[in-house]
Amino acid sequence: MSEPVNIRHIAPGTKIALADGALAEIVSNPADGVWVFARYLSSPGDPSRVGGEEMIFAQDIVAIRE
Amino acid sequence: MATAGISGYRPGLVDLKAGQISREIFVNDEIYQEELERLFARAWLFVGHESQIPNSGDYFVSGMGEESVILCRDRTGEVHVFLNSCRHRGMKVCRYDEGSTPVFTCPYHGWSYGTDGKLVGVPYFREAYHEKLDKSRWSLVEVPKLCCYKGTVWACWDPEAPSFFEYLGDFVRYLDLTLDGWDGSEGGTEILGGIQKWRIPCNWKFPAENFCGDSYHNISHRSVDLVGIGPSGSGRRDMQERLMARRLQVSFYERGHQTGVYLFPGNRLTPPSYQHSPIVAEYFAHCEAERHRRRGAWGRLIGSPGEIFPNTALHPRQPRTIAAWHPRGTHQTEVWRWYLVDKAAPSEVKDFLRDYYIRYSGPAGMTEQDDMENWNYAHAASRGTIARRYPYSYEQGMGFEIENYESEGLPVPGTVMDITEAKSSEHNLRNLYRRWAEFMEAESWDELATWRRNGEAMPARAAELKPQAHHPGRCRVVCPSQSV
Amino acid sequence: MATARISGYRPGLVDLATGQISREIFVNDEIYREELERIFARSWLFVGHESQIPNPGDFFVSSMGEESVILCRDRAGQVHVFLNSCRHRGMKVCRYDEGNAAVLTCPYHGWSYSTDGKLAGVPYFREAYQGTLDRSAWGLVEVAQSRCYKGSVWATWDPTAPPFLEYLGDFLPYIDLTLDAWDGSDGGTEILCGIQKWRVPCNWKFPAENFSGDAYHNISHRSVDLVGIGPSGSGRRDMPELNMARKLHIAFPERGHQTTSYLLPKDAAPPSAYQHSSVVSDYFRECEEARREKRGDWGRMIALVGEIFPNTAYLARQPRTLAAWHPRGAHETEVWRWFLVDKSAPAEVKDFLRDYYIRYSGPAGMTEQDDMENWNYAHAASCGTIARRYPYSYEQGLGTEVENYEWEGFRVPGTVCDLTQAKSSEHNLRNLYRRWAEFMEADSWDELMSWRRPARAEAAE
């Protein structure tokens, strides 16, 4: 786990790296600093998640990738 | 006066099989009244620290449950805890926070007591009492059981209660993580500065469950993490630990105590900390090396928040603090928070820590404020006519407890939940409420001291770990017929 | 946990035969706690207005009884009313007054609910819960029934309560007088600006009975009448109506709702109003003519104040407002006041009315302050050890009520007391407390819905 990432204003379309090694793209952001809606682009730990949209918890986001 | 016993705490109100607890227990006035009798009048409670009363005549006014008590040191150097209430007509015999005095004099009619509690001054003893009053029967009410351990002072109103060490059982090793110096020296801590006291409009069990191991609520503190509340700058205060250690929750089922701990691999020193201050960082690094040298494998463990049943919270690391959640009615808690530093630390270290502690904890502390916001409204919701019909959820991690947890040859005492991958569990919270329900249902300490049924008067490990000779953990009882 | 039942509300505490009510009902904490269960957990309560949540994701935090609730519109456009309390550990999932959100997230541990109340986000659902938490069982608590009527939103926790329109019964056309536009078009109103919220140190029933039809307390407002509070200048705000109409107390004993209304003569032109502003008075006059055309005889009815049991009050005319008297313990009321205007009124009309409303009502309103002064000290006296032994008097106009009241061809629904000559009665207040006592004594809605029984129950006392 790295430094906390402030997720409140990440725009849709931004890519985020997750704690389990996955990469996802923001679909929508409720701006509560706790959750974002994102689609999995890659998921080495569980490939079945690719393409699926999920709620991602702030503490599971390790970095923003442009 | 005995209140009608409420039966059926389990499973009706506290259903540990389903992991659900009724909101009633936080808001019901009858239950609260029972708690005063069944919990606070029978359990061991934290009263203060010997460093607050170093000299004869020194006193510190504290609380046990709802009641005011005086922690003081008499002329011979003995420590006492008295009910702060004149035997004549009840007025407080001490109305100050702390100080030093040869006698405690009641302002109402002038009865006066020595620091050993004896009634010494009675106005008009000859004229009005005709010398008939038997002064020896009218001393201040004293706790029947008292224990000083590594500076901390504990007391209990119930003469039938087990000794403090038996009460703690194997948990004593975890209490040591708060009380020993950073370098592992036994009891090498002292109280820093004043005691913070403030009230929160919530039931005392909200903070109690939070500190016993609410590993789930870090999102509440996200804003302070984002601004870098940790003493090493950016990120969580315990970021380093999380990166490299196993994160465990440890419960003691029969005792009702619990804590979180970080368990480092055998070959790793504790990560650097206090990077904002080179003096503190150096002191810390030196202490860590010392600690590992002294403690061996046990040095791999560092503590995180924990709770001694029912209402004493421990924060062993950053910040290092002990808190008591005093009940002030069903709907209010009065928090008293003590801060600890190493006795032998340089003054720059103590200064740094004082600033850090105030920034973090207490009514103006940035992190503590997040918690109080939650408890305030959680309690308000628990009172709602509709809301209280719906139980709270405590099912996280049920069924994943481990007895005899061991890591690289180091056994970890207690029933363990390894949350390194799980991130969180409510194991420790369930433990708190299991013990709570036991106390509320039990008629006597015989029923509560279940470990004695196996024939052990004191668990083996606790017996091994009795304080070393150079740091005697004096446990004194006022009623000599009771054995320690 | 069941509290011990208090029995014998009647005739001991509420004696409608003699018109005496004990001060106890305003100050007793046990009675108050029973009210929370027997009244606020069972009746229909006003929550808000649809115009406050026009778009999906919009929310407005309101109150039902003591409890915080969220009025919101989900993604499909459906309106919901939820208990504002996370199912995990109770914290408010919404700490703001109003806004728009895709999800409602609890700040304590992060549980997150979609706007239809479903539990959507659970941190570490896989890791900490092993995927075993049954999310469908832990959604936000939703009211048992809700109903949007001409923009107003009502809700009840009780699944056995009658539907809202049945709850209102024949009182419905009276509440229309507040919710319809001045020109009589159905539901042509909207909320104006913000909601006023303030606390008064009195029991909620003091304002409730005042707005039920306290026709007697005009002397309290004499000073504002003397300075010309009415939007037409000098004198009472409703002076023109007073001069030409029958003033009626209208009550519905089986439902507990009541109103004070004016019934104008058959062929009289509507009284002029809003004379301080020619734009407004023109608008008003046009509306009145349109209303007469649309509504025929009902166009003769002008409502003044009214109360929907138990704690929703309206002022239908000047100002036009809905208020909820939220209980905050036996000794405090939190008032929430909404103001209404015609949706299609010109901007100058809405601006004029906003100024007028603020001048009149609310914590800084000149007229409302008179009332609060009274309720404050009346409540304090009700608490007094000696004072509370002496009942209040509610006997004004006992026995003068009539069924089937008719005047110049208009048959007025409800049980009526004509105040035109009498000046005042306490008919409506007795009605409120009759229904209050029924709720406090009844174990179920079956007992309360006397109108459903073929052989109608005797009207109480």
> Which range among B225-229, C83-87, C448-452 shows the weakest confidence by mean pLDDT?
B225-229
**pLDDT of A1 over the 70 cut:** no
Considering CB atoms only, which of C36, C123, C138 is closest to B385? Answer: C36
The Cα of A41 is separated from the nearest Cα of chain B by a number of Å equal to 23
Per-residue pLDDT at B471: 30
Rounded to the nearest 5°, which phi and psi values hold at B231?
-70, 0
The mean per-residue pLDDT over the stretch B265-274 comes to 81
Would you say B273 and B353 are in contact if contact means Cβ atoms under 8 Å apart? Answer: no
CA C221 to the chain's CA centroid: 22
Considering CB atoms only, which of A30, A37, A59 is closest to C101? Answer: A30
- Please indicate whether, in this complex, the C-beta atoms of B384 and C83 are within 8 angstroms of each other: yes
Tell me if the bond preceding C270 is cis, omega within 30° of 0.
Answer: no
Considering CB atoms only, which of C89, C92, C127 is closest to B422? Answer: C127
Percent of chain B exceeding pLDDT 70 equals 90
The answer to whether B218 contacts chain A (CB < 8 Å) is: yes
**pLDDT of B337 over the 90 cut:** yes
Which residues in chain B touch residue C110, judged by CB atoms under 8 angstroms apart? 216, 219
Name the 3-class secondary structure at B133.
coil
| Predicted confidence band of residue B237 (pLDDT cuts 50, 70, 90) | low
List C-alpha distances in Å: C123 to A27, B213, C140. 19, 16, 17
Residue B63, classified by CB atoms within 10 Å of its CB into exposed (0-12), middle (13-18) or buried (19+), is buried
Token pair, residue B407, equals 């890591």
Angle at which helices C347-360 and C278-295 cross, to 10°: 100
Residue among C322, C334, C317 nearest C274 (CA): C317
Considering CB atoms only, which of C123, C128, C133 is closest to B219? Answer: C123
Considering CB atoms only, which of B218, B223, B234 is closest to A59? Answer: B218
The more confidently predicted of residues C402 and C221 is C402
| Predicted confidence band of residue B461 (pLDDT cuts 50, 70, 90) | very low
User: Tokens 């999932």 correspond to what residue?
Assistant: C93
pLDDT tens profile C281-334: 899 999 989 999 999 999 999 899 999 999 999 999 878 999 999 999 999 999
Rounded to the nearest 5°, which phi and psi values hold at C222?
-60, -35
Distance separating alpha carbons of residues B51 and B36, to the nearest angstrom: 29
- Please indicate whether, in this complex, the C-beta atoms of C121 and A55 are within 8 angstroms of each other: yes
- Please indicate whether, in this complex, the C-beta atoms of B242 and A1 are within 8 angstroms of each other: yes
Per-residue pLDDT at B230: 75
The answer to whether B384 contacts chain C (CB < 8 Å) is: yes
Per-residue pLDDT at C233: 63
Residue among B352, B340, B350, B346 nearest B181 (CA): B340
Q: Which of B132-136, B335-339, C369-373, C450-454 has the highest mean pLDDT?
A: B335-339
Residues linked to residue C313 through DSSP beta bridges, in sequence order: C307, C323
Residue in B with minimal Cα distance to A8: B223
Per-residue pLDDT at B475: 62
Distance separating alpha carbons of residues A5 and A33, to the nearest angstrom: 9
- Please indicate whether, in this complex, the C-beta atoms of C107 and B219 are within 8 angstroms of each other: yes
Would you say B390 and B23 are in contact if contact means Cβ atoms under 8 Å apart? Answer: yes
Per-residue pLDDT at C7: 54
- Please indicate whether, in this complex, the C-beta atoms of C102 and A30 are within 8 angstroms of each other: yes
Which residues in chain B touch residue C129, judged by CB atoms under 8 angstroms apart? 395-397
Type of residue found at C277: S
The H or E element that residue C312 is part of is strand C312-315
Which residues in chain B touch residue C88, judged by CB atoms under 8 angstroms apart? 392-393
Per-residue pLDDT at C3: 35
ipTM beyond cut 0.85 = no
Per-residue pLDDT at B233: 65
pLDDT tens profile B385-436: 999 999 999 999 999 999 999 999 999 999 999 999 999 999 999 999 999 9
- Please indicate whether, in this complex, the C-beta atoms of C103 and A35 are within 8 angstroms of each other: yes
- Within 10 angstroms of residue B101's Cβ, the number of other Cβ atoms is 15
Per-residue pLDDT at C1: 31
- Please indicate whether, in this complex, the C-beta atoms of C112 and A34 are within 8 angstroms of each other: yes
Considering CB atoms only, which of B219, B223, B235 is closest to A3? Answer: B235
Per-residue pLDDT at C313: 97
The mean per-residue pLDDT over the stretch C27-35 comes to 95
Q: Is residue A5 part of a domain?
A: no
Counts for chain A of helices (H) and strands (E), in that order: 0, 5
> Which range among B45-49, B119-123, B370-374, C226-230 shows the weakest confidence by mean pLDDT?
C226-230
The answer to whether C129 contacts chain B (CB < 8 Å) is: yes
The mean per-residue pLDDT over the stretch A32-41 comes to 92
Distance separating alpha carbons of residues C138 and C280, to the nearest angstrom: 52
Residue of C32, C47, C85 to mutate, interface with B, max B Cβ within 10 Å: C85
The answer to whether B225 contacts chain A (CB < 8 Å) is: yes
Neighbouring chains of C at 3+ CB pairs under 8 Å are A, B
pLDDT tens profile B168-205: 999 999 999 999 999 999 999 999 988 999 999 999 99
User: Domain spanning B158-464 has what CATH number?
Assistant: 3.90.380.10
The answer to whether C103 contacts chain A (CB < 8 Å) is: yes
Per-residue pLDDT at C277: 85
The answer to whether B373 contacts chain C (CB < 8 Å) is: yes
**Whole-prediction pTM value?**
0.87
Which residues in chain A touch residue C124, judged by CB atoms under 8 angstroms apart? 57
Would you say C61 and C98 are in contact if contact means Cβ atoms under 8 Å apart? Answer: yes
Per-residue pLDDT at B37: 94
Instruction: Look at chain A and report how many structural domains it folds into.
Output: 1
- All residues at 6 or more sequence positions from C278 whose CB lies less than 8 Å from its CB, including other chains: none
Per-residue pLDDT at C237: 64
- Within 10 angstroms of residue B3's Cβ, the number of other Cβ atoms is 12
pLDDT tens profile B408-418: 999 999 999 99
CA B312 to the chain's CA centroid: 2
Angle at which helices C366-383 and C205-213 cross, to 10°: 130
Residue A33's domain is classified under what CATH number?
2.30.30
Considering CB atoms only, which of B378, B387, B396 is closest to C128? Answer: B396
Q: Is residue A54 part of a domain?
A: yes
Kind of pairing between the strands at B98-100 and B119-121: unpaired
The backbone region for B65, taken as left when phi is positive above 0, alpha when psi lies in -120 to 50, beta otherwise, is: left
Residue in A with minimal Cα distance to C122: A57
| Predicted confidence band of residue C4 (pLDDT cuts 50, 70, 90) | very low
Per-residue pLDDT at C456: 52
The Cα of A10 is separated from the nearest Cα of chain B by a number of Å equal to 15
User: Tokens 């619990």 correspond to what residue?
Assistant: B258
Which residues in chain C touch residue B382, judged by CB atoms under 8 angstroms apart? 90
Angle at which helices C427-441 and C205-213 cross, to 10°: 140
Per-residue pLDDT at A2: 55
The H or E element that residue B149 is part of is strand B145-149
- Please indicate whether, in this complex, the C-beta atoms of B222 and A4 are within 8 angstroms of each other: yes
Q: Is residue A45 part of a domain?
A: yes
pLDDT tens profile C188-212: 999 997 899 999 999 999 999 999 9
**pLDDT of C461 over the 70 cut:** no
| Predicted confidence band of residue A59 (pLDDT cuts 50, 70, 90) | confident
| Predicted confidence band of residue B477 (pLDDT cuts 50, 70, 90) | very low
Write out residues 42-101 of C within 8 Å (CB-CB) of A: 101
If you average pLDDT over every residue of chain B, what do you get? 89
List C-alpha distances in Å: C20 to C370, C378, C395, C417, C446. 25, 16, 7, 19, 28
Domain region containing A44 = 15-65
Write out residues 416-475 of B within 8 Å (CB-CB) of C: 419, 421-425
- Please indicate whether, in this complex, the C-beta atoms of A6 and B226 are within 8 angstroms of each other: yes
- Please indicate whether, in this complex, the C-beta atoms of B217 and C124 are within 8 angstroms of each other: no
- All residues at 6 or more sequence positions from B7 whose CB lies less than 8 Å from its CB, including other chains: B441
The answer to whether C87 contacts chain B (CB < 8 Å) is: yes
The answer to whether A28 contacts chain C (CB < 8 Å) is: yes
Name the 3-class secondary structure at C277.
coil
| Predicted confidence band of residue B38 (pLDDT cuts 50, 70, 90) | very high
| Predicted confidence band of residue A6 (pLDDT cuts 50, 70, 90) | confident
User: Domain spanning B49-145 has what CATH number?
Assistant: 2.102.10.10
Token pair, residue B477, equals 């009882």
pLDDT tens profile C106-142: 999 999 999 999 999 999 999 999 999 999 999 999 9
Angle at which helices B366-383 and B347-360 cross, to 10°: 30
Which residues in chain C touch residue A36, judged by CB atoms under 8 angstroms apart? none
All structural domains of chain C, each given as residue ranges with its CATH number in brackets, are 45-145 (2.102.10.10), 169-452 (3.90.380.10)
The Cα of B233 is separated from the nearest Cα of chain A by a number of Å equal to 10
Rounded to the nearest 5°, which phi and psi values hold at B233?
100, -130
Per-residue pLDDT at B483: 29
Residue in C with minimal Cα distance to B384: C67
Q: Is the dihedral of CA B65, B68, B73, B78 positive or negative?
A: negative
CA C390-C391-C392 angle, 5° bins: 125
Per-residue pLDDT at B235: 58
Which residues in chain B touch residue A57, judged by CB atoms under 8 angstroms apart? 219
Which residues in chain C touch residue B28, judged by CB atoms under 8 angstroms apart? 1
Residue among B258, B261, B266, B249 nearest B303 (CA): B261
The Cα of C99 is separated from the nearest Cα of chain B by a number of Å equal to 20
The mean per-residue pLDDT over the stretch C335-360 comes to 94
The more confidently predicted of residues A52 and B225 is A52
- Please indicate whether, in this complex, the C-beta atoms of A59 and C123 are within 8 angstroms of each other: yes
Angle at which helices B347-360 and B278-295 cross, to 10°: 100
The mean per-residue pLDDT over the stretch C379-401 comes to 88
- Within 10 angstroms of residue B460's Cβ, the number of other Cβ atoms is 9
Which residues in chain C touch residue A26, judged by CB atoms under 8 angstroms apart? none
- Please indicate whether, in this complex, the C-beta atoms of C36 and B390 are within 8 angstroms of each other: no
The answer to whether B236 contacts chain A (CB < 8 Å) is: yes
- Please indicate whether, in this complex, the C-beta atoms of B223 and A33 are within 8 angstroms of each other: yes
Q: Is residue A8 part of a domain?
A: no
CA A13-A14-A19 angle, 5° bins: 130
Per-residue pLDDT at B468: 34
Q: Where are the domains of chain B?
A: 49-145, 158-464
Give me the DSSP letters along B43-101.
S-EEEEEGGGS-STTEEEEEEETTEEEEEEE-TTS-EEEEESS-TTT---S--SSEEE-
The more confidently predicted of residues C406 and B239 is C406
A vs B, Cβ pairs < 8 A, gives: 23
The answer to whether B479 contacts chain A (CB < 8 Å) is: no
Per-residue pLDDT at B1: 27
- All residues at 6 or more sequence positions from B428 whose CB lies less than 8 Å from its CB, including other chains: B212, B213, B249, B250, B251, B258, B259, B260, B307, B417
Per-residue pLDDT at C238: 65
